[in-house]
Structure 1
């Protein structure tokens, strides 16, 4: 092959390469944004103080342990809404949990007043029986506000 034919072939290859890399770049960008939404948001929710408090209350509650078993863990993806400002905010999330005896959903609803979280609802719904197990401590209940 002479030099002129090689340049033509090289030019044709570049004509296909440019649009291909452009499309690939767009698809990668879209994929990374979707990944951030689906995998980043649950991490933000799980680092919120109400999430941590609710998990702690559920894991040490005797009635929850009786229904779900000793080795309770969170699993799956938490869902709901959390809004936090400098001194206010609100939370409305559900967290799937399970133990060696069964599964349930931890429900957390509350508001943040002057930097302190006050909970309207904090309970576990046992999947098998649909029983609601209240986890609220009286002093942290919304009715006291």
Structure 2
């Protein structure tokens, strides 16, 4: 009868490179999951802010902007700028890319929050094709 030497399992033969590689891949995957959740959380915080919501509401009500961009008007990318809140005060200086069937534009919003109330010093749309600036505040600042 022949003596058979039991062969080691695949893992027993390869553990020296499988364990470090598996550990590194796990760390990389966890990093990207964490990074994605941070970006998603910040994005949700910014798009849920009053300046963002109020600017988009004004854009969708402005007949001249609708005439130029068409309907429906929707966001077209990631908001940029600075948005900060602390208790009942805050500051916004943001730009929001928007688009409609007829073209693209950016909405710019600058304002401050005092006693839980936002006051906007600037809120306007710049049309991409013509660089035309359309004031969304109208007579509110007068």
**1:2 lines up with 2:24 in the alignment:** no
TM-score by length of 2: 0.87
Q: CA deviation at 1:70?
A: 2.6
Task: Show CA shifts across 1:76-119 (max 9, x none).
Answer: 11111211111001111111111121110011111101110011
**1:74 lines up with 2:57 in the alignment:** no
Match of 1:48 in 2: 49
RMSD: 1.9
TM-score by length of 1: 0.85
Aligned mates of 2:112, 2:139 — CA distance in 1: 16
Q: How many residues align?
A: 139
Q: CA deviation at 1:137?
A: 4.7
Task: Show CA shifts across 1:12-60 (max 9, x none).
Answer: 3222221012101211122123323443322211000111100000111
Higher gyration radius (CA) = 2
Q: Unaligned regions of 5+ residues in structure 2, if any?
A: none
Q: CA deviation at 1:10?
A: 4.0
Call closer, same or farther: CA 1:50–1:14 in 2, change over 3 Å: same
Aligned mates of 1:97, 1:32 — CA distance in 2: 28
Q: Unaligned regions of 5+ residues in structure 1, if any?
A: none
Query: Which has the larger helix fraction?
Result: 1
